Structure 1
């Protein structure tokens, strides 16, 4: 089984090498303990860091095609709109735990294990409606995929919920977001959300504390990686975290397996940050494709994944996925619409709960 990996390592503002280490750890575990995938040893034929640069991402996608990979696993990226059409156009399945762009979310050859950003936006819209909120502001990293998803998917969801929704963009690497946050808070939103990588999380969370607000605060998983927690301290307390995976429920067999795999195959990689998305993306693929039949090929991989039913989502707090196009219409590539919500208190995530949209 020839598998390529694309990762967002090496960027000046964004770099998440832990996702690659976790994906590779999942492969080593599967080869040593599961017989690979369907009895076929997994060979990583390419690892390509995009540096979150469009031209480099396009080069990586073309390298996947040239490598004749049977599948591509993307650990995380904001450039799915560049990568997915090239890969799926060559008949190679595009696989990721968390997608945000239309080419990732609507291709018959693309598989997104979790509802990701689109389902988080819908869950937040429902949450705001249930709370009786009238306005909601999202601080979003200034990347095409994140802004596009917020505007194209978030705005309709909040409109349907009867909640005013605004987006404030924050460039990656912004050292002080106070002017951006101050301007957005003049609208007096009932709730605010932070959507971005670590530098955006740090600058916005610090600015929210500096400016002061009574708004409910919601964040996504990158905002709870160790560098963010160390930088913002108690400013994160009371926030609600929307995440595709649970690594805090240490009595959960899935979490125990994750910790054991990482300890064995990636001992120097922190497990509490965004490493989980790389592990979840690869391990979900390993589970979903176990039923592959005959010779290994991209078409055989696609058929195997589409035929798998109710697959346990790795570190998914009991969530299962099925890639039949019905999880989050009209996004046919999404395989599950559920998310995990956690609460941060005293610097630690607690009370993981599954929030299902269906």
Structure 2
């Protein structure tokens, strides 16, 4: 039997206090790259921080194409404004810096250096595939990374990284178990033709093996716009019990779905993971009349419609600074929210204990083995005894996923609570 946590418990969002005078955001241009710093705060020029300010940074690519995650930095800005309008965090002004890493290794490194130069106490909820470039910069300065999206290996191995999700390994392992429980007899994995894709194939194989399910590896060229041959290979003879799951980025997923729809399979069931599919993708592909009708989706979090996201929705609704809507179904946005909630809890605990809030004290508290529960995921614990027994990903501590299904054009829970796939990630045996 698969182990589960059966409920989602809401936690209060970032504390509300008597509002201080608000000030406008400031923009400065970085020297190394045209990356954008946005600071939001109350009481004085936004870029004129005081010694009592809590300085943090969030970075993500923007203006690069399919890799863009602008919602993450936009939400970070919105959180900063919201916190300071309500009196700060534990009475202290929160200065949020955002940085565009341009989906380039030198951009990621430059963003990390800017966090160091600004004396940030943490980097929060960021997105970059270049962990080998940014993580050493943070490590040398003693700056913890809380809630990196999880697309680079150092995010799951660095002693100063505190991921709040299980990355693609947890998702693809969870997708495999979801397909087993759905009664699939054969599964095709459509995945990138990369070394990272090879690793995902291994996790899916581990998830399917106890059930004796046949696994077909379908490598997809991510830069191609025509996925007809990929979809045709995945569908095969379109026999009952045939299932297809994918682990691609959003744009290739859209190309795959378009080809899948045109081939009109009758018996093949489709599945995916959050990030490849989210509510906005369901909407854009036709909702309940599109190819994702009835699709199974594995996620790190409960669906966007769940009440636990009320705090996120409230911040997004109240923030009208740039007039652009933030997609609250985007897992990058959700990860940023969870990460800032973790930071909030840590700051409150340190303040209550009379300790300074520094990179060192934040890391010490997170390393202590004291769980952090923000009510969106199971309690997060980065203590030594909770580490994953893995040389590659010891920091992957959140091994829980949710099973969702597209029903009536909306992503909804297929079953209540979380499912633990830790045994898949450690290549162990399924729970009895």
TM-score normalised by the shorter chain: which range applies? 0.7 to 0.9
Q: Which residue of 2 aligns with 1:28?
A: 81
1:236, CA displacement in angstroms?
0.9
Q: Which residue of 1 aligns with 2:187?
A: 136
Q: 1:177 aligns with which of 202, 212, 227?
A: 227
SS at 2:349 equivalent: coil
Please, which runs of 5 or more residues in structure 2 have no aligned partner? 1-53, 423-432
**Matched-pair contact (CA < 8 Å) for 2:185–2:214:** yes
> d(CA) in 1 for partners of 2:375 and 2:220?
31
1:343, CA displacement in angstroms?
0.9
1:328, CA displacement in angstroms?
4.1
SS at 1:262 equivalent: helix
Q: 2:379 aligns with which of 320, 325, 336?
A: 320
Comparing 202-211 with 188-197, greater Cα deviation is found at 188-197
> d(CA) in 1 for partners of 2:175 and 2:148?
19
| Counterpart check, 1:304 vs 2:365 | yes
Residue by residue over 1:102-151, the C-alpha shift from the partner in whole angstroms, topping out at 9 and shown as x without a partner, is: 3111222110112232222222333344456454322234666x526414
After TM superposition, the score normalised by the length of structure 1 is: 0.84
Q: 2:412 aligns with which of 340, 350, 354?
A: 350
1:163, CA displacement in angstroms?
4.1
Residue by residue over 1:30-50, the C-alpha shift from the partner in whole angstroms, topping out at 9 and shown as x without a partner, is: 3444742x5443222x42222
1:308, CA displacement in angstroms?
6.7
CA 225–127 in structure 1, closer or farther in 2 if over 3 Å, else same = closer
Q: 2:319 aligns with which of 265, 269, 275?
A: 265
**Matched-pair contact (CA < 8 Å) for 1:126–1:161:** no
Residue by residue over 1:219-248, the C-alpha shift from the partner in whole angstroms, topping out at 9 and shown as x without a partner, is: 222312425521354211111122222354
After TM superposition, the score normalised by the length of structure 2 is: 0.71
Question: Where is the helix percentage greater, Structure 1 or Structure 2?
Answer: 1
SS at 2:225 equivalent: coil
Residue by residue over 1:274-319, the C-alpha shift from the partner in whole angstroms, topping out at 9 and shown as x without a partner, is: 4323222322332244322533321111012234744334544xx3
> d(CA) in 2 for partners of 1:142 and 1:228?
25
| Counterpart check, 1:195 vs 2:257 | no
Q: Which residue of 1 aligns with 2:145?
A: 94
Comparing 24-33 with 160-169, greater Cα deviation is found at 160-169
**Count of matched residue pairs:** 351
1:208, CA displacement in angstroms?
1.9
| Counterpart check, 1:336 vs 2:386 | no
SS at 2:404 equivalent: strand
> d(CA) in 1 for partners of 2:116 and 2:93?
20
1:153, CA displacement in angstroms?
4.2
**Matched-pair contact (CA < 8 Å) for 1:7–1:76:** yes
| Counterpart check, 1:72 vs 2:149 | no
**Matched-pair contact (CA < 8 Å) for 2:165–2:398:** yes
1:196, CA displacement in angstroms?
2.8
Q: CA RMSD in A?
A: 3.1
**Matched-pair contact (CA < 8 Å) for 1:239–1:343:** yes
Please, which runs of 5 or more residues in structure 1 have no aligned partner? none
> d(CA) in 2 for partners of 1:7 and 1:126?
31
> d(CA) in 2 for partners of 1:155 and 1:329?
19
**Matched-pair contact (CA < 8 Å) for 2:122–2:146:** yes
1:152, CA displacement in angstroms?
5.6
> d(CA) in 1 for partners of 2:304 and 2:95?
31
Q: 2:268 aligns with which of 204, 215, 218?
A: 215
**Matched-pair contact (CA < 8 Å) for 2:282–2:409:** no
